[in-house]
């Protein structure tokens, strides 16, 4: 089965529709305060209404209680939550099956932490001081090869049309996740880069 593609940090219905038309399996809407790609709940809802029947809409959240996250998911119509804060394994378990944890990775200890979270899915991203994600930095992919063999791994962190084919070949992730690597400005996706990324992520 081909690698799935998630385009994260989508900020408009037009960009969400474009990503879906170009073959993205999922789009991410960021609801974390302070993020350069943050959208309000009304925009997230509009995106879910526009593409949610054919494309998974993932709401990126952090620093919220389980009850607040569940309510936000219902209000926005998102199909899934991506947890980027200090959520515990119990928090993730309470939201299954429509949630997964994002873990920042720099060492094998970080990989063990990622593997300890419940659910079929887990996202790994580069560990960068002061950033919950979306840093545009890569990390040592060899650290997560074994994890990708056991879990439905979402690989994020500095992916671009130029390096995603190598990442897929080396890690064999279930899904690749990109934000800044397909942008012409923060939160504004470039159709040409999105098309190139999707093609490169699914080598023939």
Annotation marks residue 8 as catalytic: yes
Catalytic residue among 15, 25, 91, 125: 125
Residue 80 annotated as catalytic: no
What is the residue-wise DSSP string for the chain? -PPEEEE----SHHHHHHHHHTT-SEEEEE--TT-TTB--HHHHHHHHHHHTTTSEEEEEE-S--HHHHHHHHHHHT-SEEEE-SS--HHHHHHHTTSEEEEEEESSHHHHHHHHHS-SSEEEEEE-BTTBSS-------GGGGHHHHHHSEEEE-SS--TTTHHHHHHHH--SEEEESGGGEEETTEE-HHHHHHHHHHHS--
Length of the chain: 204
User: Which one from 8, 19, 25, 175 is the annotated catalytic residue?
Assistant: 8
Give the residue numbers annotated as catalytic, written as ranges. 8, 125
């Amino acid at each position: 089965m081909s690698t799935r593609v998630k385009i994260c940090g989508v900020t408009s219905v037009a960009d969400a529709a474009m990503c879906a038309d170009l073959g993205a399996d999922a789009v991410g809407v960021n609801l974390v305060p302070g993020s350069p790609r943050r959208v309000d709940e009304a925009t997230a809802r509009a995106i879910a209404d526009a593409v949610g029947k054919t494309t998974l809409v993932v709401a990126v959240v952090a620093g919220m209680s389980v009850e607040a996250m569940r309510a936000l998911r219902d209000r926005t119509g998102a199909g899934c939550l991506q947890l980027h804060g200090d959520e515990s394994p119990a928090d993730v378990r309470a939201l299954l099956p429509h949630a997964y944890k994002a873990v920042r990775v720099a060492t094998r200890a970080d990989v063990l932490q990622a593997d300890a979270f419940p659910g079929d899915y887990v996202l790994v991203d580069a560990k960068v001081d002061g950033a919950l994600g979306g840093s545009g930095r890569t990390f040592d992919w060899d650290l997560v090869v074994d994890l990708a063999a056991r879990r439905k791994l979402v690989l994020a962190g500095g992916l671009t049309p130029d390096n995603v084919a190598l990442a897929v070949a080396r890690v064999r992730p279930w899904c690749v996740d990109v934000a800044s690597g397909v942008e012409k400005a923060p939160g504004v996706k470039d159709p040409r880069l999105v098309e190139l990324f999707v093609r490169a992520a699914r080598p023939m």
